[in-house]
Amino acid sequence: MSRFPKWLAVVLCTSMLLSGCWNALDIEQMLYIDSIGVDYVDKKVVVYLQDIGFSNIAKKESNQKETEEKIAVVKGTGNTVEGAILQIYSSSQQRLVWSHVHSIVFTERALKNHLFSQAMDTLDRYQEFRYTIWTFATKDSLEDIFYSRPILGISTLYAMLANPKSVYNQYLLIRPILLVHVISKHNEPNGVVRLPYLTILKNQWTENNMPKPHLKMDGFCFMQDNHLLGCLSRKDASGIRWIDKKTERTFLHPTKKGSAILTLEKLHVHIDPQLKGGKPAFHIKVKAEGYTTQVLEPTPIHKLEKEAQKKIESEIRHVYEKGLKEGIDTLGLGHLFYRKYPHDWHRLSKDGTLPLVRDSIQSIRAKINITDGGISKIRQHKSPHQKKR
């Protein structure tokens, strides 16, 4: 009989010391936070956590009847963000997991009371928390925001709060922003952060002949140095898309009569900060190519291009002057001036902000090239000069 190998005995004894995964928890034993909400009510910090079930996410092989996805919202109140979270912990029946958060929503009240930095200080100390989450602002109830559901039983994981980029890619007007970029701009000198502004549409969508509340990014809230400067509606803020270098494609009604709709892409924007007479001056140039999406009246392409250029220049001027009235640097001109003239920025700035006036923007020039008329009735109206182009 052969002797038992000593090396095998050592391996067996050592393996008994390994802990393995004996303390691992199953999915159903934990609560996965999908969204965080921060509010300020009656001089108290209120934190909301949205937790969703996973029953409708995976494909079911059985013929079991599909049920509506479960959404749970819990609220905690305290003197600080951490205090509000601890109150939630005290009543939780399962462990809360922070590694799957998709979004964070601040109310205007929370931003006005400087809770952004406090929330970041608290969440930054959680090892599970990540900065690649979408960041929003709102005036509406956070509970209503979190309880809004997509139509047709689609999982909340594919709705606007968790996946706003899919909506933006189709209707490119209000660009969503990740928390990592919010923090980056927030820490820059004269850096103005644009947070997408959420509202609830209650009657536009219906399901089974019943109203189905839906979320909509309806403008921007502007923040600088942990202060909320103000918010602008989608209509007033539409000019921001023309100075956003990440705008890939957008729509435009070039004429007031709505005789055509253009799709513009290949956007190039250049903002040139200058120092003239000891004062800041800016020149803005925008170039884009486009095509007609709809034409109600046959219109020469050169006329559509001219009207589109005027409309773009008007939208940029409008959002800039609207911001001046509210004390907001909507176009982020102060930071651009700082990057090019840091010493002059320090000399001219007041409380970390470069003073701007209406004439600070000395020129806005847009150049639009419609490359495809879409239908022959439009192409035949090209001028000889445009045909050569």
> pLDDT above 90 covers what percent of the chain?
49
Phi and psi at 195, nearest 5°, equal -95, 130
Please provide the average confidence, as pLDDT, over all residues in the chain: 84
SS3 state of residue 359:
helix
Q: What is the pLDDT of residues 323-375, one digit of tens each?
A: 999 999 999 999 999 999 999 999 999 999 999 999 999 999 999 998 876 55
**376 band by pLDDT with thresholds 50, 70 and 90:** very low
Contact 262, 251 (CB under 8 A): yes
The one-letter code for the residue type at 114 is H
Q: Is the pLDDT of residue 377 over 50?
A: no
Residue 194 and residue 369: Cα distance in Å, rounded? 29
Could you give the CA distance from residue 235 to residue 221 in angstroms, rounded to a whole number? 13
Distance (Å, rounded) from C-alpha 123 to C-alpha 46? 15
Write b or e for each residue in 78-103: b if 16 or more Cβ atoms lie within 10 A of its Cβ, otherwise e: bebbbebbebbeeeeeeebebebbbb
pTM of the model as a whole: 0.83
The token pair that represents 196 in the structure block: 């997408």
Q: What is the C-alpha separation between 386 and 289, in angstroms, rounded? A: 14
DSSP 178: B
Rounded Cα gap, residues 158 and 381, in angstroms: 44
Distance of CA 176 to the CA centre of its chain: 2
**Which fold, 239-389?**
GMP Synthetase; Chain A, domain 3 (3.30.300)
pLDDT for 11 equals 67
